[in-house]
Amino acid sequence: MDSAHHDCCQHHDHHHELVVDDVGVRYRRLTALDHVSLATSCGNRVALIGPNGAGKSTLIKAIAGLVPRTTGTIRWRGSAVRRWSREFAYLPQREEVDWSFPITVRGLVEMGRYPQTGMWGRFSDNDHQAVEQALATLDLLDLADRQIRELSGGQQQRAFLARSIAQEAHVLLLDEPFTGLDRRASFQLGETLGELAREGRLIIASHHDLNTVVPLFDEALLLATQPIAFGPTTEVLTPENLALTFNETPPVSAK
């Protein structure tokens, strides 16, 4: 990966850059999230872990400013997040994407520039350069003129990541990015996310495979509508916390 060091952490102070404070989200009468808090900063990869319906997607959308909060606040670098901004990139779950939509990889990555140029705006040299740089970063130059429907699942994920790089997003919010990838594609995506985090981005992803949380993520939030635990992956992934999260009987310690 050859992109220059990302500027994400230059604003770093003693506080965390992203602060989710006591957030609740309700859909009509259903409480999807309740009293959720976490604080983290750029450079981290944060896993959201929990059973189906635990609120992982809802939290991702709330941080992205895509669903309204019922309670609490979300602050990014000291300012309240109220609606979507260019600093956040959101990748929906695979099944929410229309993969038959006729667009090339380059066309998809160019969409990352629309917040700057407007949908019908002229692309400057700077915009073209950002697109080519993003394609190169995700190793997609050879595939740039292919239709996205003609790509493998792993290549499609990379195309979406390239779009968020072209957008110059600081926070990547990914809904189950590893689902449906084989081992090789998963490994490659893991390497890519590691690089993007090292360059100074914050990565937040829902994740289902408990066996790969530790190698792939620095921090984890265990979630079951309410937060069960948040912290460094190796500290929070205890059998007790997992049992509470997945509503199983906690292991009885030997007497």
Ligand X SMILES: Nc1ncnc2c1ncn2[C@@H]1O[C@H](COP(=O)(O)OP(=O)(O)OP(=O)(O)O)[C@@H](O)[C@H]1O
Dig out the tokens for 12 from the structure: 């770093």
Minimum distance of ligand X from residue 201's CB (angstroms) = 22
Interface residue with ligand X, options 2, 4, 10, 52 (CB under 6 A): 52
Interface residue with ligand X, options 50, 65, 154, 190 (CB under 6 A): 50
Interface residue with ligand X, options 5, 53, 149, 239 (CB under 6 A): 53
Q: Which stretch binds ligand X (CB under 6 A): 4-12, 35-43, 52-60, 240-248?
A: 52-60
Contact (Cβ atoms closer than 8 angstroms) between residue 16 and residue 39: yes
Q: Does 163 bind ligand X (CB under 6 A)?
A: no
User: What's the full length of the chain, in residues?
Assistant: 255
Q: Does 55 bind ligand X (CB under 6 A)?
A: yes
Contact (Cβ atoms closer than 8 angstroms) between residue 21 and residue 73: yes
Minimum distance of ligand X from residue 208's CB (angstroms) = 7
Nearer Cβ to ligand X, position 53 or 251? Answer: 53
Binding footprint of ligand X on the chain (CB under 6 A): 27, 30, 32, 50, 52-58, 206
